[in-house]
Amino acid sequence: MRTLLLRFTLLFTIVTIAQHERGKDIMISEHQKDDIYLAGENIDINAVVHGDMVLAGSKITIRDTIYQDLIVAGGEVIVKGYVADDIRAAGGKLTIDSEVGDDVIVAGGEVFITKNAIIHGNLINFSGDIEMNGEVMGTIKSYSGKLIINGIINKEAELFGEEILINGEIKGTSKLAASSITIGENAKFHENVHYWSEENKVDFKNSLIGATANFDETLMGDREEFSWKGFGIAALGFWLFYLFSAFLVIVLLNWAFGNFFSTAASYLNNTLFKSLGYGAIYLIGVPFLVIALIVIIIGIPIGLFLGGFYVFSLLFGHLITALLIAYYLGKKADKQWNFWSLALLALGIASVIRLLTFIPFLGTLLSFVVIAMAYGLIIYTLLQKNAALKFEN
């Protein structure tokens, strides 16, 4: 059993090391002529990129020019370099501190557009909070919790949120709908304003330049509709981020352990229930083992390590399961699918497993069963390999 645990731990430890070497901290400092697809913990782009750039990571910083689209998802995203085409970004905290040649579509917790930013297209935003201090040459459509406009909007503005503060300049017509609307001393509206606020009356001070402000009750309904659209777009952005990240992990697992998964899949027909039993013991039993080790003070280091390993295995369980199922389907169909075909099939299976988890109780149960089967199959395969080695010796 100790040998089995050691081998099973080694399997996932190698994956962790491979991820670290291949993508934890990524620095691009040389001129790039083609598209770039990267995933890592910290990504720093400090070179010109002539193609599209697709990035996923914890902290991402763009310092140089991108001549095509930037598609990015991360915990914190900072764009300081010129982007010639569109930006589509999703994340916890997004900062745009540069010139953008076309549209910007963002969904995040916090969005900050600095005074140095110039967006030549439109700005579409769904966020918790946004502060816009730069200039938008086109229109702006935004739904957020708190919205602050200190910059310039050259065309129309449709702003929905809980709290809106305007202290900048809007040159086109405006629609404002929020629980609270505040107009600052520096605000300027060059075209008519339609607004809705729970307070009914808004003091526009001297901000209306040849324009009028009209209370419009229909905007309350638009605000509710726009919030659902925002939720849908944000959900789509995070789902695409999940697919991209999952695919990179699947490719890495397939590259590192493809032969092992192929061998394990060959046992599935004859060991289905046995694998399910092994996997259930692993998924249910390891947490109790971790607790027992932590209670025994001398076992705390082992307990913490085993606990971390267990959490890691849960996080990537559906991806490992998907790869095993992909190999099994290939063997059952007697097909020699290539590396990328297997990876894409596994991505589709992983997406189905992930979607199952959204079904109350039944989805969670089904996910538990297939993941338990996968880990049980791995344990069984390791046992078989261990027995074969003992027989040879």
In percent, the amount of the chain with pLDDT more than 70 equals 84
What angle separates helix 317-332 from helix 300-315, to the nearest 10 degrees? 50
Q: What is the per-residue pLDDT for 220?
A: 74
Closest CA relative to residue 310, chosen from 291, 331, 295, 327 = 291
pLDDT digits over 193-217, tens only?
999 988 778 899 999 999 999 998 8
State the Cα–Cα distance between residues 260 and 27, nearest whole angstrom: 32
Closest CA relative to residue 205, chosen from 187, 229, 224, 228 = 187
Confidence of residue 334 (pLDDT cuts 50, 70, 90): confident
Please tell me the pTM assigned to this model.
0.59
Work out the mean pLDDT of the chain and round it to a whole number.
Answer: 81
Choose the most confident range, by mean pLDDT, from 21-25, 76-80, 104-108, 264-268.
Answer: 76-80
State the Cα–Cα distance between residues 377 and 252, nearest whole angstrom: 20
* Tokens describing residue 351: 């997406």
Across 42-53, average pLDDT: 90
Q: What is the per-residue pLDDT for 22?
A: 39
pLDDT digits over 271-329, tens only?
878 888 888 888 888 888 878 877 776 667 777 777 777 777 777 788 888 888 888 88
State the Cα–Cα distance between residues 253 and 15, nearest whole angstrom: 7
Q: What is the per-residue pLDDT for 279?
A: 84
pLDDT of residue 9 exceeding 90: no
How far is Cα of residue 340 from the mean position of the Cα atoms in its chain? 22
Asked whether 215 and 234 are in contact (CB, 8 A), the reply is no
DSSP3 helix / strand / coil % (the chain, rounded to 5): 45, 30, 25
Asked whether 67 and 49 are in contact (CB, 8 A), the reply is yes
